[in-house]
Amino acid sequence: MANEELFEEYENEGTLITLEDEDGNEVEFEFLDVVEYQGEEYIVLIENDEEADEVVILKINAIDDETEEYVSIEDEDLLETLFNIFKDKYEGDINFA
């Protein structure tokens, strides 16, 4: 799914996404953006909790035309690169203290 289509899908349906954590618990996240890097797409989320102060970045893998899965990223350098792209895009709009 193209970056713009995913962004529009979540804007139209609302900004909350429920995912299952490694313990099987449902966790609600707020959709922030989709970042493209080296031909891959990554979803940027933040936990829907007043105390949340870190974003979560997951790789988007298309299973078929209508289904996607979100995969954890183990590479710390890649995560830092993706976060910097996200920060640069929203500099001035979001306080990254």
- Residue boundaries of the structural domains of the chain: 3-90
Higher pLDDT pick, 24 / 65: 24
Under the banding of pLDDT at 50, 70 and 90, the label for residue 4 is low
Determine whether 42 is exposed, middle or buried from the number of CB atoms within 10 Å of its CB (0-12, 13-18, 19+).
buried
pLDDT of residue 96: 67
Tell me how far the alpha carbon of residue 62 is from its chain's centroid: 14
Q: What pLDDT, on the 0 to 100 scale, is given for residue 49?
A: 85
* Segment 13-21 mean pLDDT: 79
pLDDT, tens digit, 9 for 90 and up, residues 33-82: 999 999 999 999 999 888 888 899 999 998 888 888 999 999 999 999 99
